[in-house]
Amino acid sequence: MSEQEIKVPDLGGAEEVEVIELLVSVGDSVEAEDPLLTIETDKASVELPSPGAGKITKLTVKVGDKVKEGDVIGMMEASGESSGSDETEGADASENEPEEKAEEKPQSKSSPKSQDEPEQSKPAPKKKSGGTRKETVLVPPLDGMENVPIIEINVSEGDTIEADDALVTVESDKATMEIPAPYGGKVTKILVAEGDKLSEGDKLLELTVAEEGDEEDDKQDEPPAESGEEAKPEAKADDDKGKQKEPAAQEQSSTYEPPAPGAKVHAGPAVRKLAREMGADMTHIKGSGPKSRILKDDVQVYVKSQLQQTQQGGSVGTGSGIPGVKLPDFSQFGDIEREAMSRMMSVTATNMQRSWLNVPHVTQFEDADITDMEAFRKSQKAAGEKKGVKMTPLPFLLKACATALAELPQFNVSLDMERKEVVHKRYIHIGIAVDTPNGLMVPVIRDVDQKGLWELAAESAELAQKARDKKLKPAEMQGACFTITSLGGIGGTAFTPIVNTPEVAILGVSKAAMKPVWDGSEFQPRLMLPLSLSYDHRAVNGADAARFTAVLSQLLGDIRSLLL
Ligand code: COA
């Protein structure tokens, strides 16, 4: 009969803590240990349990309040006192008539937050009087908040809903909260719109409530004990209170089709908060709760799967925290043919995406004057024919890059971000990108710094041919410190190559062209070779990149310096 105070229990040493969520409302019936509110210390979020079973008659705190051990947060009537005059006396009744109590539970559980005038405005679903009646659902007390905007309407006109189903979600600057249905029925008219601001007593929607003779109601009401058992977990799973009873979260498959834009996401406030904190887009999470409701486990499983995908480099077009590219049905525009990707193509695609997403790329451009180099190269044509080796610009580029790597060893590294270490390499192996009918391959020439131009010319031609003939061994494609990708034989004035991770730089070479170059007194026709150096800006700074291309330009401009 008498009300008892609900006090903040021992907080394990925490001083003042903030109330971040109210899990019950005035009028709610709770069991001992049911969570009443969530508080947050700087270390953890904790739910404060109910000291006993009963009905909440007063709440004296609101979201954002600070509380400490011993503070009164509300009042409650002990169990049995409020359950109706036809029940027998409190303690005895609850001890001797467990079945009665079991019947009450679902009813009281199913109407937690929306009880405005609890007993008056709510039809008791177990009473059957026949036909249907229209009810207007009003906004219940909002934990002291007013003018709270609706961020989501969770039902549509024509929906058949059950007691405790979320009707709308409102969000203040402190909390997100769902307004549950006080009873089941059919939604006949929604009286609010997203963005509307709600206060206690506002009209939400109209419901047609089934009474005796209604099939659905019969299903619910006939075996009362069972109906209680069913209603409980569903109502509980709807919000944080149900966390022990939440069904196992579904695997968050990467093929999950998220709902269309604007589609409703069903989740309780605590789950929404968790998703927000973890930066998870709820429209991408598959709910495993009743009516595809998203549960805490679903958020956790989703975040875990996203992390795994990111660690594995993500699949092409998905993962890595970026939305995948949706393909239209191309056949609507004309004839199409589908062909499976070759393994090489799919591996290259994955590697490119991995590099592009992981490496902060910057590209430094430079022109090298190769007029003299080309004159020399051409003068070697006869010698080349004798040797059976064609001298192209590539061996000069290899040699120049090897020298630049030795001069600027910050380019001959890899980053170990996990161990926060820079791996310095004491060898100079350079990869060359080779265009083959099967895709791009990158054979590696080892110890470039120790080889002469003819040797490099022969080896690069041999490796390029092997690549085209698909005869490269895996070892011949490993161990590069740096890569050269030359499009000079094809064309173009500049491009931005993608760093071949875990290397930290790549040199793109475009087609040499005659250009007028000012020599201080007049323009001279010079053969200029465009160089594009892309680098990992985590490992290399811009000044060093400019130094690297300046060194290359100087070496290629005067190939005698390659001998030094
Ligand atoms: N400017 C002008 N001409 C150039 C040049 C340049 N930068 N680079 C090469 N050439 C010329 C060559 O001298 C040769 O001409 P020539 O027969 O008159 O002497 C012609 O272009 C063809 O050379 P190529 O057979 O391509 O030899 P190479 O040693 O320059 O290049 C490979 C060898 C393997 C790099 C090249 O064949 C290749 O596959 N390049 C494509 C790489 C690629 O696809 N990269 C893209 C990665 S995203």
Identify the band that residue 164 occupies on the pLDDT scale cut at 50, 70 and 90: confident
CATH at 456: 3.30.559.10
- pLDDT at residue 528 is higher than 50: yes
The answer to the question of residue 344 being in a domain is no
Q: Which of 76, 108, 140 is the last residue of a domain?
A: 108
Work out how many domains the chain is built from and give that number.
Answer: 3
Q: Please tell me the distance from the alpha carbon of residue 493 to that of residue 512, in angstroms, as a whole number.
A: 8
The answer to the question of residue 217 being in a domain is no
> Do residues 29 and 104 lie in contact, with contact meaning Cβ atoms separated by under 8 Å?
yes
146 lies in the same domain as 102:
no
Q: Which of 210, 242, 265 is the last residue of a domain?
A: 210
- Indicate if ligand 1 lies below 6 Å from the C-beta of 434: yes
pLDDT at 128: 43
Angle between the 393-407 and 542-557 helix axes, to the nearest 10 degrees? 130
pLDDT at 512: 97
> Each residue of 43-97: pLDDT tens digit?
556 778 888 889 999 999 988 888 888 899 999 998 754 333 333 333 333 333 3
- Distance in Å, CA 426 to ligand 1 centroid: 29
172 lies in the same domain as 94:
no
- pLDDT at residue 233 is higher than 60: no
What is residue 418's DSSP assignment?
T
> Each residue of 272-298: pLDDT tens digit?
778 888 888 888 888 887 667 788 888
43 lies in the same domain as 95:
yes
> Each residue of 486-510: pLDDT tens digit?
999 999 999 999 999 999 999 999 9
- Distance in Å, CA 150 to ligand 1 centroid: 63
38 lies in the same domain as 143:
no
pLDDT at 93: 34
Q: Exactly one of 266, 284, 361, 537 is catalytic; which is it?
A: 537
pLDDT at 156: 86
Pick from 192-196, 198-202, 297-301, 467-471 the range whose average pLDDT is largest: 467-471
> Each residue of 170-182: pLDDT tens digit?
877 666 678 888 8
* CA distances in angstroms from 291 to 13, 153, 178, 359, listed in the order given: 41, 15, 15, 42
Pick from 198-212, 239-253, 543-557 the range whose average pLDDT is largest: 543-557
Q: Is 537 a catalytic residue?
A: yes
User: Mean pLDDT, the chain, as a whole number?
Assistant: 79
pLDDT at 123: 40
> Each residue of 213-225: pLDDT tens digit?
443 433 333 333 3
**Stretch 512-539: mean pLDDT, rounded?**
97
Identify the band that residue 541 occupies on the pLDDT scale cut at 50, 70 and 90: very high
More confidently predicted of 226 and 393: 393
Closest-CA residue, ligand 1 atom 13, reads 392
**Stretch 417-434: mean pLDDT, rounded?**
97
Sorted by sequence, the CB contacts under 8 Å of residue 61 that are 6+ apart come out as 19, 22, 37, 67, 71, 73, 74
CA-nearest of 302, 289, 311 to 258 is 302
What residue numbers bound the domain in which 188 lies? 132-210
Q: Which of 210, 226, 244 is the last residue of a domain?
A: 210
140 lies in the same domain as 79:
no
- Indicate if ligand 1 lies below 6 Å from the C-beta of 75: no
Closest-CA residue, ligand 1 atom 7, reads 488
CA-nearest of 472, 409, 407, 406 to 444 is 472
**Stretch 232-253: mean pLDDT, rounded?**
38
